[in-house]
Amino acid sequence: MQKALLIDPDKCTGCLQCEMACSFEHEGRFNPSRSRIRVFTFHHEGCFVPYACTQCADAWCLQACPVEAIVDDRTLGVKRVVDERCVGCKVCTIACPFGTINYSQASGKVIKCDLCGGDPACARACPTTAIRYTDADQTGYEKMRRWAARSITAAEATA
Amino acid sequence: MAWTGKILRVNLSEGTLVAEELNREWADQYLGQRGLATKYLVEEIAPDCDPLGPDNKLILATGPLTGTMASTGGRYSVVTKGPLTGCVACSNSGGFMGNELKNAGWDMIIVEGRSPEPVYLYIENEHAELLPADEIWGTSVWRTDEWLHNRHQDPLLRIAAVGRPAEKGCLYAAIINDLHRAAGRSGVGAVMASKNLKAVAVRGTLGVGNLKDPKRFIEAVDAAKRVLANNAVTGQGLPTYGTQVLMNVINELGALPTDNAREVQFDGAHDISGEAMHEPRPNDGKPNLVRNAGCFGCTIACGRISTIDKGHFTVSHKPEYWGASGGLEYEAAWALGADTGVDDLDALTYANFLCNEDGMDPISLGATIAAAMELTACGALAPERTGGIEFRFGSAEALVKGAEWVARGEGFGLDLALGSKRLCEKYGHPELSMTVKGQEFPAYDPRGIQGMGLTYATSNRGACHLRSYTVASEVLGIPEKTDPLTTDGKPALVKAFQDATAAVDSSGLCVFTTFAWTLEDIAPQIDAACEGDWDVDKLLTVGERIWNMERDFNLRAGIGGDEDRLPERLIKEAAKTGPAKGLVNGLDKMLPEYYELRGWSADGVPRAETRARLGLS
């Protein structure tokens, strides 16, 4: 079963534990600037929004790569960069509509979320469950449940 | 390890920027942040120097756990000789500045001298330079932040800056980072502005690593996070209500200083409480609180993000204040509210936004306005001296005008910018100043919480709750419950809290973790990260060493045991209501025992054997 990152910005406090976990997992250092997942602060609105690659089924980055350095791992449902093949041309960074694949000056390659091979460090580190790792076919389940709960309230109100 | 091992020394008079190696021997004795920066300060400045002169230094210091995944590990401290008190000043801030400095590869920045022209310090990893700040001098922190982000075309820059009050010499001007987090107390912002340094802008991409034992560190950090999550205060109370969870509690206890501490209970307490921040406003149906927020790495997230009712008189014609910003913490809500008798939550939030926008310590600001109100009440301050507005207890108009005038450095604001002690002296009533060593005391009345009297009297940076928060024990029962109405056992409690807190403040962690953590939770995290053997005993010794070093600096600066005292009101005028009715603070019963426990002489000087035991020269 494929799983996906399920992000609920309402729960995010902007602490950046996810960014540290991601960079520590991939680079061995706590370095938010090297994190594949990023948290955006909308100060004026008072919102924090984590954002990461959604692992498109038909991925722009993969299509654009001239050296086939981005591969589709169907088991995990992840598009993964093969460092040995990546030449750092950055075409994928242009192709991706969401900006979630980025060049790294340190390695001369691109980096993107690889779901940590099936156990995403960001989801483990999140203190508020704003980031969870759940069944890729059921990412709407909790939202549906919340709406379903409303019908109970409505029924109670009319009873 | 865990330290980067590098210090940036910036001499503003000479315009030089030099990288130095961190003194590792001192790091082993003073850990980092508060302790280590204070060690550098006391070694490098003359204790009698003018705090606002070029001979004073300003140190921005991280701790060894700053920038790591340890919960709350994003703190930094600003250490200097403070202009409000003349004591060593050390103000701790969260937000995202500490971790950025560490990510840029620096444990500490030491700022010396005075620039001939306004400048800001720009740091991009190992690269650092001083750039002209003419265009932002005379502007607020918010404007400065926006300008720097635009100037460098870099949304990821982290910025700490001073506002207009600091430039005008306000003695409680703060340094604000990330728009609303503050190195708030003791006027560290005034020192920064006195050096013609407007801002520090940092971008760090090097990461923080070099842990002694990464695997053990992650295990220790994870275990400690679970302790925070499962604790009622850090897991529920603080995320839901912030520190404002205390407003109703402390009011019930009869320990909420009201009307410049004439009273100990406030009728309007509920209206300005954490609970009230959740309630829908009558006008727009929205609550004051937008959400809670965490500083870097913090899994507690006590921060308040608030808005003001757009129809409120303070902002109805000022759309620039209609967005969200850092909301009221308990100390700010008390100072701007209960202490001034103002129960208008929107007015308090607006005054708090001004503190964010321009860099003012809301505790000192509120307490100074409260003092002006009492000066008015006793006829010493007429409305013609105060911009035509009567500084009457309970007047939201006086509160917001006072805050605006200090922010802009205008009119009566210049008097208010002096702080309560100098204001009350100027108008002939020094006894009305609720200060210790020149610094306004915060939101706990020592008649109702006896240990806080000794805490305020002996704090090395002037009156402060964060040096030994005995409220934890006396009110919340952490680590064990003591009776807030007696002085028994309080000297030992204060000493233990002071030493432990000094260690925590030197680590990169937030002291709020200690609602749940003891040093037993903290030591394994430091030990797994840092070179050397860090256990509880060593941390307590480091804490005690720091405390004595700070005390020693103050003594050499001419501030001795005769200033370990409280405002007369707290030891002569009994509480009129509540559980502490009839009580004054029993400082005279606690102080001699405290000195003895500290190994100090009867006049409060560390004895030779105490100094020798702690390795102080």
pLDDT digits (tens, 9 = 90+) for B322-350: 999 999 999 999 999 999 999 999 999 99
- Average pLDDT, whole number, for chain B? 98
* Smallest Cα distance from B318 to chain A, Å: 14
Residues A90 and A137 in one domain: no
Cross-strand bridge partners of residue B293: B303
Which residue in A13, A30, A43 is closest to B67 by CB distance? Answer: A30
pLDDT digits (tens, 9 = 90+) for B64-98: 999 999 999 999 999 999 999 999 999 999 999 99
Residues A73 and A103 in one domain: yes
Q: What is the ipTM of this complex?
A: 0.96
pLDDT at B45 over 90: yes
Band (pLDDT 50/70/90 cuts) for residue A151 is confident
* Smallest Cα distance from A30 to chain B, Å: 5
Contacts of A82 (CB under 8 A, 6+ apart): A69, A70, A71
- The dihedral built from the CA positions of residue B38, B41, B46 and B49, taken in this order, carries a sign that is negative
pLDDT digits (tens, 9 = 90+) for B428-446: 999 999 999 999 999 999 9
Residues A24 and A61 in one domain: no
pLDDT at B312 over 80: yes
Residues A8 and A48 in one domain: yes
Contact flag B214-A28 (C-beta cutoff 8 Å): yes
pLDDT digits (tens, 9 = 90+) for B12-21: 999 999 999 9
| The pLDDT of residue A140 | 92
The values of phi and psi at residue B366, to 5°, are -60, -45
Q: CA angle, corner B223, sides to B220 and B229, nearest 5?
A: 140
Residues A3 and A46 in one domain: yes
Percentage of chain B beyond pLDDT 90 is 99
pLDDT digits (tens, 9 = 90+) for B438-482: 999 999 999 999 999 999 999 999 999 999 999 999 999 999 999
The answer to whether residues B276 and B600 touch, using CB atoms and an 8 Å cutoff, is: no
pLDDT at A155 over 80: no
Band (pLDDT 50/70/90 cuts) for residue A159 is low
Chain A residues touching residue B62 (CB < 8 angstroms): none
Structural tokens at position A130: 């704003």
CATH of the domain at A26: 3.30.70.20
Total domain count, chain A: 2
Mean pLDDT, residues B238-251 taken together = 97
pLDDT digits (tens, 9 = 90+) for A75-121: 999 999 999 999 999 999 999 999 999 999 999 999 999 999 999 99
Residues A46 and A2 in one domain: yes
pLDDT digits (tens, 9 = 90+) for A26-50: 999 999 999 999 999 999 999 999 9
pLDDT digits (tens, 9 = 90+) for B511-543: 999 999 999 999 999 999 999 999 999 999 999
- Minimum CA–CA partner of B304 in chain A: A46
Matching residue, tokens 């100043």: B433
Chain A residues touching residue B292 (CB < 8 angstroms): 13
Residues A89 and A120 in one domain: no
Alpha-carbon separation of residue B129 from A33, B13, B529 (angstroms): 21, 14, 31
Residues A87 and A132 in one domain: no
Domain end call among A68, A84, A107: A107
The domain of A31 spans 1-52+113-159
Most B CBs within 10 Å, among A8, A11, A12, A17, to test the B interface: A17
pLDDT digits (tens, 9 = 90+) for B550-601: 999 999 999 999 999 999 999 999 999 999 999 999 999 999 999 999 999 9
Q: CA angle, corner B217, sides to B212 and B221, nearest 5?
A: 150
Residues A89 and A129 in one domain: no
Contact flag B324-A46 (C-beta cutoff 8 Å): yes
Chain A interface, Cβ < 8 Å to B: 13-17, 20-21, 23-24, 27-34, 43-48, 125, 127-128
> Hey, what domains does chain B have and what are their CATH numbers?
6-203 (3.60.9.10), 258-433 (1.10.569.10), 445-614 (1.10.599.10)
The answer to whether residues B453 and B174 touch, using CB atoms and an 8 Å cutoff, is: no
Residues A130 and A142 in one domain: yes
Chain B residues touching residue A125 (CB < 8 angstroms): 69
Percentage of chain B beyond pLDDT 70 is 100
Residues A137 and A151 in one domain: yes
Q: Report the C-alpha gap between B123 and B203 in whole angstroms.
A: 6
Cβ neighbours of B297 (radius 10 Å): 33
Domain end call among A64, A79, A107: A107
- Minimum CA–CA partner of A23 in chain B: B207
Q: Report the C-alpha gap between B498 and B126 in whole angstroms.
A: 36
pLDDT digits (tens, 9 = 90+) for A127-137: 999 999 999 99
pLDDT digits (tens, 9 = 90+) for B141-173: 999 999 999 999 999 999 999 999 999 999 999
Which residue in A31, A45, A127 is closest to B207 by CB distance? Answer: A31
| The pLDDT of residue B470 | 98
Query: How, if at all, do strands A109-111 and A78-81 pair?
Result: unpaired
pLDDT at B175 over 70: yes
* Smallest Cα distance from B75 to chain A, Å: 13
Residues A46 and A68 in one domain: no
Contact flag A28-B209 (C-beta cutoff 8 Å): yes
